[in-house]
Structure 1
Amino acid sequence: MGVQLDGSIGVGVSRLEVIGGPSGRRRRTKAERARIAAESMMPGVTVADTARKHGTTRWQIYDWRKQIRKGNLVVPESVAALPFFAELVVDDSATEASAAVPGSDLEIVVGDIVIRAGPGVDEGQLTRAIRAARAAAS
């Protein structure tokens, strides 16, 4: 009795090769899993891109993110020290300044750069402006 490859009758395999070695499963340490999951949470980074970069699946990364939230994985200190959000400062004098600039409801200061946005600003456009300001301030 032979093993058929293509479904045609009478053609069998005379040799079957079994490749030994690692099972193909990667064993990652808790620190590696936490670092990869934290990388996927950085602004502008997608889970799919992170998964592709590290040879894992999106679902593993989502699971590792859940484990971080539950406290089962600890984010490395080098990653935890990075700012995830910008500091928000509410200044009462801003209402007086907004009278000088008609139509601006939001003012973002990045270093020496001031970004003013009106009520109908596109989120993507504002994100690109903030990234450009951060790059210029660096």
Structure 2
Amino acid sequence: MRQITVMHEPERRRRWIDEERLRILAEAAAPGACVADVARRHDISTARIYTWRHKLRQQIAGPQFAEAVVDADNVDVPISEPSPAVVVELGNKMRMTVFPCAAAALVEATLKALR
């Protein structure tokens, strides 16, 4: 009968508190900082920093609102219409007007639908 000796090391997985993560992310985002150097200093992989950065962006990228203020003195000022960037004539009865603020994916999908 053979004897097997199982040797195990302490668990390598570390638990990071939010303050540590934010401090490391701030260090990596500093002007002139190299993510690889920051990762080496803290003995973590660069992928870990990029994953934290991605998750942080997802958390703060929710809907954002700005306060609207109406100036009662300028209520009668006419609003100028934005001028179109492109007007596409599609036969006699179809016309598509594309404004500069239109998303490219939306314009592409609309043109494909009208085809």
Q: TM tier, shorter chain?
A: 0.3 to 0.5
Q: TM-score, normalised by structure 2?
A: 0.44
Q: Which has the higher contact order (CA 8 A, sep 6+)?
A: 1
Q: TM-score, normalised by structure 1?
A: 0.38
